[in-house]
Structure 1
Amino acid sequence: MKTKEICLRGLMIALVTVSTMVLQIPVSATNGYIHLGDSMILLISVFFGWRYGMVAGGVGAALADLLSGYAHWAPFTLIIKGVMGLLVGKIAHYTPAEKHFFGLRNLAGSVVGIVWMIIGYYFGGAVLQKSFTVALTSIPENLVQGGAGFVIFLVVGYAFYKAKIYKYVSAK
């Protein structure tokens, strides 16, 4: 691994961690919180690919859980957000040569990633709460979290597209 890749991964992990921690809205049904970190996982996965999305999503979000007092969620978050970044990055297709952000694959990949996140936290909640029925209460809050992350992803992604930022940020 090159020094540039190590630095980029570290910065992306920090970006996910900070964006997850900067605004946290506690949710009693999930014993978790709604945050902005998902939008960064989506952006990183689309612009930089699955390897960056998987590492930044999993490690960054798990670190945020650890640092925010939600250590009981950290192992689940590591896997759920890591797989989220993997799925989005594998499905999405963005290259600077195409200069195309709002493609079907980018949008579909993001939706698949969010759906995975909701399903993953449902099963994680079922394990922690020892009840699949009680874990159902997490779905609405995770829908809100995923929806907000998707909207922020679209807004920031469009700004990146209009500013031609893809010339400078793409690592693919």
Structure 2
Amino acid sequence: MKMTTKEMCIQGLLVALVTVSTMIFQIPVSATQGYIHLGDSMILLISVFFGAKYGMVAGGVGSGLADLLSGYAHWAPFTFIIKGIMGYLIGKIASFSEKDERFFTSRNMLGAVIGIVWMVFGYFIGGGILKSSFAVAAVSIPENLVQGFAGFAIFLVVGLAFHRAKIYKFVLSR
């Protein structure tokens, strides 16, 4: 599948958006040896407004880069896969389109929740592999849920603002 120059530029900007939003505000969490950040909210928004392909690349590459640049290189391969699949799942389930210009649909909300649940499960598996103990990795589940649903709350607020500003007219004209 061939991408136009415009599509490559949009994809690059979305990757940068996820990377920067993940790195700009980090709260370290000792139980996960990771951090809480704003990047998940961007993955949710990108996946709903731009679809699975953009969500997958922005989520995987952007989050993986943030891990590499933030000193969490040991998590980067896991993050690349986990966040890439997260963006893909959300984009495939979400229903935002030119015909249905509504942000608050059951499919968009379901996609977001499934994406977050996948992220928590993925980091549980990744943590179990890295720590050689799934019992130890289970300790990270509550913090990952907090991270995911904090991102969901930001997603709702920003998504509402985008919807009221009719930002979808600009996004869908890409």
Q: State the TM-score bracket (shorter-chain normalisation).
A: over 0.9
The aligned counterpart of 1:147 is: 149
**Residue 170 of structure 2: SS of its match in structure 1?**
helix
**Partner letter of residue 27 of structure 2?**
I
Does residue 77 (structure 1) correspond to residue 74 (structure 2)? The answer is no
Structure 2 gaps, min length 5 = none
CA–CA separation in structure 2 for the residues paired with 1:155 and 1:170: 20
Structure 1 gaps, min length 5 = none
Aligned length: 172
The aligned counterpart of 2:39 is: 37
Change (3 A) 1:4 1:165: same
Does residue 4 (structure 1) correspond to residue 6 (structure 2)? The answer is yes
Cα deviation, 1:101-150, whole Å, max 9, x if unaligned, reads 10000000000000000000000000010001000110010010001000
| Residue of 76, 93, 100 corresponding to 1:98 | 100
**Partner letter of residue 157 of structure 2?**
V
Is the contact made by 1:47 and 1:171 (CA closer than 8 Å) also made in structure 2? no
Distance apart, 1:171 and its partner CA: 6.0
Distance apart, 1:169 and its partner CA: 1.6
**Residue 137 of structure 1: SS of its match in structure 2?**
helix
1:16-95 aligned at under 5 Å gives the runs: 16-95=18-97
The aligned counterpart of 2:127 is: 125
Distance apart, 1:70 and its partner CA: 0.2
Moved over 6 A (4+): none
The aligned counterpart of 2:170 is: 168
The worse-fitting range, judged by mean Cα deviation, of 91-100 and 50-59 is 91-100
Distance apart, 1:20 and its partner CA: 0.2
**Partner letter of residue 68 of structure 1?**
S
Distance apart, 1:95 and its partner CA: 1.1
CA–CA separation in structure 2 for the residues paired with 1:49 and 1:145: 22
- Give the alignment's Cα RMSD to 1 decimal: 0.9
**Partner letter of residue 55 of structure 1?**
V
**Partner letter of residue 31 of structure 2?**
A
CA–CA separation in structure 1 for the residues paired with 2:80 and 2:18: 12
